[in-house]
Amino acid sequence: MINAGAVIIMLLLNIFSILGCKKIKSVPETINMDNNNSLYEYISAGNFSVNTIDGTPADLGIYKGKKILIVNVASKCGYTPQYTELQNLHESYGDKVVVLGFPSNDFGSQEPGTNEEIKNFCTTKYNVSFPMFEKISVKGENIHPLYRWLTDKSLNGWNDQKPEWNFCKYLIDENGFLVKYFSSGVKPLSDEILSLIN
């Protein structure tokens, strides 16, 4: 049976989205998450691997027990200054959440550089020290399997919202379940994000 309160909330969220307010999509309370929907279960099944921005294989399983904020980043975007807040989030809340940056050139060709150039830009201009990974596709035919999991509700349990631009954010809980999607305009140190981290 449909919960009337949930319907009202969804209608309000749709209205806010139409009016240009911050887009936030969270897991519906009616969805039962099980291990089949966990990022760690998806990884352990051999569905994908990732490399650091230096090309070294990385195991995302090491972050189990912390929240994860996955962000598709770009060096030449109007949202690029969010690197500052992402780094501040990393420094101030690193005991609770790990920020993972995935460069992508999918939106406006705003990440044209090599991995080495991206790393140099992030470290010299924004002093980035949170984990950065090789440039990937976050949408389309060549979508990386991580982003396939993030954006396919048959895999993650509820969400099909793909990144709409650079600096979209996906929050994963300590057990590897996707709990929230944030659009580019939601800043890393916003109340919406911090309230879920604390």
Q: How many residues does the chain have?
A: 198
Q: What pLDDT is attached to residue 163? A: 98
pTM, two decimal places: 0.86
Phi first, then psi: give them for residue 123, nearest 5 degrees.
Answer: -80, -35
pLDDT given at position 47: 87
Please give the Cα distance from 171 to 96 (Å, whole number): 12
Ordered by where they begin, the domains of the chain are: 27-197 (3.40.30.10)
CA dist 18 and 151 (Å) reads: 21
Strand 178-182 to 24-26 pairing: antiparallel
Amino acid identity, residue 8? I
Which positions are catalytic? 77
Which residue ranges of the chain lie beneath pLDDT 70? 1-24, 26-34
Q: What's the mean pLDDT when you consider all of the chain?
A: 89
pLDDT of residue 54: 98
Please write the tens of the pLDDT for every residue from 109-121.
999 999 999 999 9
